[in-house]
Amino acid sequence: MKKIILVLFLLVFSSICLFAVDNKIFEEADNAFLQRAQPQMAFKALRLYREIYQQYPDNYGAAWRVSMGCYYLGFEVERNDEIRKELFEEGRDAGLAAVEIDPTQAEGHFWMAINMALYGESVGVVKMLFTLNVICTHLNLSININPNYAYGGAQRVLGKINESLPTILGGSDEQAEKYYKEAINISPDEPLNYLFMAKLILKTKQPKAKLVGMLKKGLAINKVEDYRTESQKALKELERYAIKYGAI
């Protein structure tokens, strides 16, 4: 059960159309984050988000961006376990602050839940399991507020939770498939949704024709924006599966 949550967040948010409605104070930091495939830009983005948050601690946009930046650095860039734990803790707390500032928006709930899960795993999977109900509650709140956020990101995470948990702890492959289908219906242009579903089809040994069909649907998304680095990675992984299982 050590990896029960870690896999959940691989490529979880796919650039999200994050920044459409916020004001100019975030422009430089947001531009840096859109270039986060370069680690130095990811570090720059979080540094700038922190500076803005310190200056405006009651700013909702600053709080959830710190939470998001901590997630990305902790999960995708940093390799020191102690630093990763500190990043996830900071991200959890910033996400909680965002929820307290404005509980009617999806971002705070989403990033708080992600960081809470990763922090829990970093200090021990039992800790994560004790907070699982809180994590799922905030993911569901994110969906209720904005089901499209993160291209179905909350649905993917809830699906992976159900797929990863043992049945005795409430896990269900059927429920996981339901969440993945919801993600596909919400965001049919997101390769990650098809990738997660394809992996579940493989795991549960469903008919090969279903797997091939899912891979073909994912690969039909033949172009994603350059800044959607996670989506581009997912397309490459879909292609590898498609070659292996005869979908192309």
The single-letter code of the amino acid at 13 is F
Q: Which two tokens stand for residue 2?
A: 């050590």
Q: Which residues contact 85 (CB under 8 A, 6 or more apart)?
A: 119, 122, 123
Q: What is the mean pLDDT of residues 122-130?
A: 75
pLDDT in tens, 66-112: 999 999 999 999 999 999 999 999 999 999 999 999 999 999 999 99
Burial class (CB in 10 A: 0-12, 13-18, 19+), 159: buried
Exposed / middle / buried, residue 164 (Cβ in 10 Å: 0-12, 13-18, 19+): middle
pLDDT 10s digits, 39-63: 999 999 999 999 999 999 999 999 9
Q: What is the pLDDT of residue 6?
A: 47
Of all residues in the chain, the percent with pLDDT exceeding 70 is 90
Q: What's this model's pTM, rounded to 2 decimal places?
A: 0.89
Q: Nearest 5°: phi and psi at 124?
A: 135, 135
Please compute the mean of the pLDDT values over residues 108-132 and round it to a whole number.
87
Q: Where are the beta strands (DSSP E) in 191-240?
A: none
Mean pLDDT for 161-177 is 92
Categorize the per-residue pLDDT at 124 as very low, low, confident or very high, splitting at 50, 70 and 90. confident
